[in-house]
Structure 1
Amino acid sequence: MKKLLILSTAIGGLSLPAVAQEVNIMGWGGSYTVSQVEAYHKPYAEKTGAKVVSIDADNPATPIKAQVEAGNVSFDIASVEFADAVRFCDEGLLELIDPAILTPAPDGTPAMDDFLPDTVTDCFVPTDVYATVIAYDGARYDGKEAPATMADFFDLEAFPGKRGARKNAKVLLEMALIGDGVATADIYSMLETSEGVDRAFAKLDDIKSEMIWWEAGAQPPQLLADGEVAMTVAYNGRIFNANVSEGREFEIIWDGQVYDVEGWVVPKGAPNLETALDFIAYSTSTEPLAKAAEWISYGPPRKSSAPLVGMYQDGKTEMGPNLPTSPENMGNALFSNLEFWADRDAELNERFNAWLLQ
């Protein structure tokens, strides 16, 4: 693990209040941590005089269980995926976070009404939203009608060509039902039934002969760049990065996007609990969340943040259209249902693997 000291001295040598001590934050590293350092860590250190130590890990969730059970917790906050946060909270490995500490929106809207529904839990406060989407190469459709909806992904007649998708039932079954006209509000109740599952696989049958399967997130942009697929399921951040760093002209179909969240948790027994909670309240307020989205194409989970997001760091790319949480991209979005997949993952992937062999 790599540590980065953001600020280690008190402002002007003054005696600081109890909260302005130290906070150790474990993140994912790379551009993800850069966005948090610039939007959260540095401003918080400047505001409070606290020492903010950033620690990189391959997966910040990994050390939590071992350290808590050993009674030797060395960090205060971790950035984790929603599923890990819910599981660890159920196991008693995390501190509870009182939603009353969260900052209202600038117009006075209570925080719990400002965050996307169901994303704040007893032990978790979200920091960003990422999405699984459909993407295509704009150059391929130059002068021709381009696909625009989830239904178009499944329409080989109107939009011929290979289709790319992750080799897994999760997300793909949801997209199949959305492409078949099922309202996002009804997706999981539909998948709870054998008829709904049959309907999803029947829709996948429409494109099965043209599928190219991928397993790593770096593969979809490469499939598009090589012209191997006309459209592909992809992670929005990967598509954005290919456009801004490689000059690609990839386009995202936001219709039917399936989104998920990441955010902060505090391991049980964190050495600097008070400062950790203060940092979480600060970093998940409206303005810092908007600032983070100017460094990486993950959307802020607060509605009030969206209008404040400006340009990407290249100074020429407007971030709003590239974020899952921009209002124009959320019209037919689906929040991935953690509990559903916890209960049905093995069963549905067994069915998926059997379908692949048919």
Structure 2
Amino acid sequence: MKKILILSTALTGLASAAHADLTVMSWGGAYGEAQTEAFVKPFMATTGIKTIMVDSDNPATPVKAMVESGNVTVDVANIEYADAIRLCDEGVLEPIDIATLPAGADGTPAADDFLPGAVTECAVSTDIWSNVFAYDTTKFAEGPTKVADFFDLEKFPGKRGLKKGAKAVLELALMGDGVPASEVYAVLSTPEGVDRAFAKLDTIKKDVVWWEAGSQAPQLLADGEVAMTTAYNGRIFAAAMNEGKPFQIVWDGQIYENEMFVVPKGAPNKEDAMKFIAFSTSTEGLRASAQQISYGPARKSSMATEIIFKDGKTVMAPHLPTAPENMTNALETSSEFWVDHDAELNERFQAWLSQ
């Protein structure tokens, strides 16, 4: 039986995987578990190819390093949308022909079945996920309902968890300061807007506990280290559904985007990598993923029938970022903005942290 290794860690962790025929990077945690059930196990059953999933905090970093060093040991990686655009522009990724992707279960060509933006020159969406904030319902008699509440330490006292980085934090700050989602990037594109975002963050800075890996956010909430925290919506959903945690998501001000499968330039098993992506991003693959974790499928045909959580009774639609009721004040991440401004804003962010 041929082996496929689904791998994601640092470069030092890849050496042991050198014997494997195919290597794929993903993020681990509840997300990695969902992908194992939705993609890996069915792929094994269908193809007879042994598949192993290992996790990483951010697969884009080692992918870039491997391609630049000329020592590519990964065939598929799961990375954020902005990273997929940037790495494609830099020549780090292989192009993916949308014509090679399967039609929807209803026969709709892939080009028409995928939601707008879900397939780019070098990437295919695995799901639509969201940065949200959530709170422990045992901490407040009446919980927060608006993004502004995240910054209201008087009405909702307690520590706040925030991801340690500029992306999605600056946008949250502006929305918390009253900027409508539709105007966030116009404001953030100006020096005054950047100053405004950091000024809003200043109001809670002394009460922030910073997190970096996706698994840390729900853990901070579970341990009582924070009263509310930003998090990936699927992590909060998994903690509530699988572990019975008293967590509640606030969808107001959510920041959503596509997560993407990519193939690094020079992947040793490019042909098999493309097969894995086609299988996983089919109608059935994306629907199966949404049955495991509350990230929305990027194909219309995947949503054509009701999606039920793996418990067999929970209807997933209300828990997905793309549910109409969750999109009232939602912001789609601008990959173009972050491709252009990531370096400068993160430099400013790190300087602000050290102040």
TM class, shorter-chain normalised? 0.7 to 0.9
The residue number in structure 2 matching 1:19 is: none
The structural deviation recorded for 1:109 is 5.5
Q: Which deviates more, 321-330 or 245-254? A: 321-330
**Shift in Å at residue 25 of structure 1?**
4.8
Tell me whether 247-256 or 77-86 shows the greater mean CA deviation.
77-86
Provide the rounded CA distance (Å) in 1 between the counterparts of 2:203 and 2:287: 40
Greater shift after overlay, 105-114 or 238-247?
Answer: 105-114
CA separation in 1, counterparts of 2:201 and 2:53? Answer: 42
Confirm or deny that 1:212 pairs with 2:211: no
Q: Which whole-Å CA distance do the structure 2 matches of 1:161 and 1:30 have between them? A: 26
Separation (CA, whole Å) in 2 of partners of 1:98 and 1:162: 47
* More off after superposition, 162-171 vs 49-58: 49-58
Report the counterpart of residue 82 of structure 1 in structure 2.
Answer: 81
| Offset at residue 193 of structure 1 (A) | 0.6
Query: Which whole-Å CA distance do the structure 2 matches of 1:231 and 1:274 have between them?
Result: 44
**Residue in structure 2 matched with residue 36 of structure 1 by the alignment:** 35
Q: Partner residue of 1:124?
A: 123
CA distance change for structure 1 residues 69 and 46 in 2, over 3 Å: closer, same or farther?
same
Is residue 157 of structure 2 the alignment partner of residue 155 of structure 1?
Answer: no
Change beyond 3 A, Cα 1:42–1:159 = closer
CA distance in 2, matches of 1:158, 1:286: 45
Shift of 1:197: 1.7
Where structure 2 has 5 or more consecutive residues not aligned to the other structure, the ranges are: 7-20
The Cα shift of 1:321 comes to: 3.0
How large is the Cα RMSD of the aligned pairs? 3.5
Residue among 179, 182, 194 paired with 1:185? 182
* 8 Å Cα contact 1:25-1:52 kept in structure 2: no
Structure 2 contact 25–77 (Cα < 8 Å) conserved: yes
- Once the two structures are superposed, residues 161-219 of structure 1 have per-residue CA deviations (whole angstroms, 9 ceiling, x without a partner) of 4433234332221012112332323211211112212322333344445x222123444
Alignment check: 8 A CA contact 1:134 1:254 kept: yes
Question: For residue 333 of structure 1, what is the amino acid of its counterpart?
Answer: A
Residue equivalent to 1:26: 24
Match of residue 321 from structure 1: 318
Is 1:66 aligned to residue 63 of structure 2? no
Matches within 5 A, 1:1-358: 24-28=22-26, 31-44=30-43, 49=47, 51=49, 53-54=51-52, 56=54, 58=56, 61=60, 62=62, 66=66, 70=70, 76-106=75-105, 111-142=110-141, 144=142, 146-208=143-205, 211-216=207-212, 217-270=214-267, 273-306=270-303, 308=305, 310-353=307-350, 355=352
Check whether the contact 2:217–2:229 (CA below 8 A) recurs between aligned residues.
Answer: yes
**Alignment partners' CA distance in 2, 1:219 and 1:33:** 15
Q: Deviations over 1:238-257 (max 9, x none)?
A: 32232234321100011111
For these two proteins, the number of residue pairs brought into alignment is 336
TM-score, reference length from structure 1:
0.77
Greater Cα radius of gyration, structure 1 or 2 = 1
SS at match of 2:138: helix
C-alpha deviations, 1:18-54, integer Å up to 9, x for none?
A: xxxxx8351335654443343334445655x564644
